[in-house]
Structure 1
Amino acid sequence: MKIIDFRFRPSTPDAVQGMLNNKVFGGMFELFKYADRAKPEPIEKIVADMEKQGVVKGVVTGRDAETTYGLGSANPGIVALMKQYPDKFIGFAGLDPHKGMAAIDELKRMVNDHGMRGAAIDPYLARIPADHAKYYPIYAKCCELDIPIVITTGPATLVRDAVMDDAHPRHIDRVAADFPDLKIVISHGAYPFVNEVIMTVHRNRNVYIDLAEYEEQPFSEGYFQAANTLIGDKMLFASAAPFMDFQEQIALYKRLPFKPEVLENVMYNNAARLLGLEG
């Protein structure tokens, strides 16, 4: 089975150490015992393991939360990774909406000069919901460039000053209505708002979803029921590596209650279509 991993950051020693030292997510990592689960490995072994597992592409989403949390752009590191393995990794430019036109310039540069294939934002880290006006120039530019955008959601467990409501899917539903040509990926399943995000994906042709990290949380059974009946053509596999081991996540997805044809769509076909990799 061919696989596209839609949320993949290689677990190199530098990446793992950087996450362990991250002050913003330190409480979350301690709670979930990330230090005990982390498996730092050289990039060569990671790529070899991707090949063994059938992972043909890894989408590496950037992050820029400099204004609110002092987390500078991860884009330069992603550019370096893409240069090292141009056939394996696809970069999505992380953007800080508070930077205004500088964020637009960054997006254009990352796409036009460095070959990135999408954008990525984090409403809970920006402390403004996805339908805030500060994002709208980013959405418009994504439409112009014909690239998708990943909107990171989830409960932001123990992240200081972050609130879940900024990542509520109702805000994304508004964005999808205002930008019907914008291809949106809701990352981390908008957990815990399972029912609301299912209908947001179902009722908007332009909205996709990944479940990264929340496949086995309370109420997650709704995701799989919906995949088998309503949104199986718009769900994407995303391992959330290195926070989760991508090989273990692949094994998990093969055990989850997807219909066989839905599993093939989730693991590869939906992402290939979204990224224009079909054929």
Structure 2
Amino acid sequence: MTQTRQKVIDFRFRPNTPEIINGIKNSAMFKAACKAIGFDARQAQPLPEIVAGLDRLGVELGVITGRDCETTYGFPANNPSVLEFCRAYPEKFVGFWGIDPHKKMAAVREVERAVRELGMKGIAIDPYLAHIPASEARFYPLYAKCCELGVPVFITMAPPPQVPGAILEYADPRDVDKVARDFPELVLIMSHGGYPFVNESIYTCLRNANVYMDISEYERAPMVDVYVQAMNGSIADKVVFASAHPFVELADALEAYAAFPLREDARRKVMYENARRILGLGADGNA
């Protein structure tokens, strides 16, 4: 009997074009981190070649998240590239617009424009790089606007190494728990599993119907077995696969997940069905 190939949606994928690779390596936030993790060795590719690679690996859709931390790091937002990729391959990519909470009402208006005019499926924020926790007041007008528009918020919740000015406390999932309680109709996705707050992240997902997470970049980290146990049990419906490409090679992330001892129903949910539900595409592959 021929085995059916596992369908995949990558909920954190950024194309490794030359501009993106060079931008990451030279950014004010990640320059030291890139040296620490060996990112300088990452190879760039033209966009058509990247899309062909996604097809070969069975990835149906990639979610591209933008980042705007211009206020704290003086580095321009990468949102224009998100729009470029999504317009070039609308059947392969969906975008989440990066928002800087320090831009106040301009940020709120940017959320409206990104969703209504540019077709973005949600927004992306990074408390760690904004130097404020996810429950800080400056984020709340953004959450309220997303509730009004009916789009999810993607929250980067883990501390990259050697980032100047950023502290571990900004990535505490207990702040997402507060937001979830204040905005119960708002879908929140914690990226990077809130690592190293593993148990706190799992329980934040468990006790809030509107909170999801991915564990990108930590598939081989200490305590990953705790995540996997939870995926097989209480939060099978609350985790989405994400590679964090190009920081992690997509093929390596898929290999790590293939080695996880997941039940088949849990694997289908994590790799594909949960993401479709969050994106409003349905869970069975039929939009």
- Shorter-chain TM-score tier: over 0.9
Moved more, 240-249 or 92-101: 240-249
1:155 Cα deviation after fit: 2.0
Q: For 2:171 and 2:33, how far apart are their aligned partners in 1?
A: 17
Q: Find the residue that maps to 1:212 and give its secondary structure.
A: coil
Q: For 2:49 and 2:252, how far apart are their aligned partners in 1?
A: 16
**Which residue does the alignment assign to 2:104?**
100
**Which residue does the alignment assign to 2:7?**
2
Task: Check conservation: 2:219, 2:253, Cα contact below 8 A.
Answer: no
Q: Find the residue that maps to 2:160 and give its secondary structure.
A: coil
**Which residue does the alignment assign to 2:190?**
186
**Which residue does the alignment assign to 1:77?**
81
Aligned partner (choices 251, 257, 273) of residue 253 of structure 1: 257
Moved more, 86-95 or 252-261: 252-261
Structure 1: stretches of 5+ with no match in the other structure: none
Runs of 4+ in 1 over 6 A off after TM superposition: none
Q: Find the residue that maps to 2:205 and give its secondary structure.
A: helix
1:46 Cα deviation after fit: 0.7
Q: Find the residue that maps to 1:229 and give its secondary structure.
A: coil
**Which residue does the alignment assign to 1:29?**
34
Q: Find the residue that maps to 2:28 and give its secondary structure.
A: coil
1:193 Cα deviation after fit: 0.3
Q: Find the residue that maps to 1:216 and give its secondary structure.
A: coil
1:274 equivalenced with 2:285 (yes/no): no
**Which residue does the alignment assign to 1:197?**
201
TM normalised by structure 2 equals: 0.95
Encode CA deviations 1:1-58: one digit per residue, 9 max, x unaligned: 211100000011111111111231112111111112x121111111011111121111
Aligned partner (choices 192, 203, 213) of residue 209 of structure 1: 213
1:145 Cα deviation after fit: 0.6
**Which residue does the alignment assign to 2:53?**
49
1:219 Cα deviation after fit: 1.5
1:251 Cα deviation after fit: 2.0
Task: Check conservation: 1:156, 1:164, Cα contact below 8 A.
Answer: no
Task: Check conservation: 2:28, 2:73, Cα contact below 8 A.
Answer: no
Q: For 1:23 and 1:206, how far apart are their aligned partners in 2?
A: 33
**Which residue does the alignment assign to 1:157?**
161
Q: Find the residue that maps to 2:155 and give its secondary structure.
A: strand
TM normalised by structure 1 equals: 0.98
Encode CA deviations 1:230-269: one digit per residue, 9 max, x unaligned: 1011100000011111122112211112212111111100
Q: For 2:234 and 2:14, how far apart are their aligned partners in 1?
A: 29
Task: Check conservation: 1:156, 1:163, Cα contact below 8 A.
Answer: no
Amino acid at match of 1:5: D
Encode CA deviations 1:98-137: one digit per residue, 9 max, x unaligned: 1011011111111111100000100011101000110000
Q: For 1:54 and 1:5, how far apart are their aligned partners in 2?
A: 10
Q: Find the residue that maps to 2:19 and give its secondary structure.
A: helix
Structure 2: stretches of 5+ with no match in the other structure: 1-5
Q: Find the residue that maps to 1:235 and give its secondary structure.
A: coil
Q: For 1:94 and 1:23, how far apart are their aligned partners in 2?
A: 17
Task: Check conservation: 1:168, 1:190, Cα contact below 8 A.
Answer: yes
Moved more, 135-144 or 154-163: 154-163
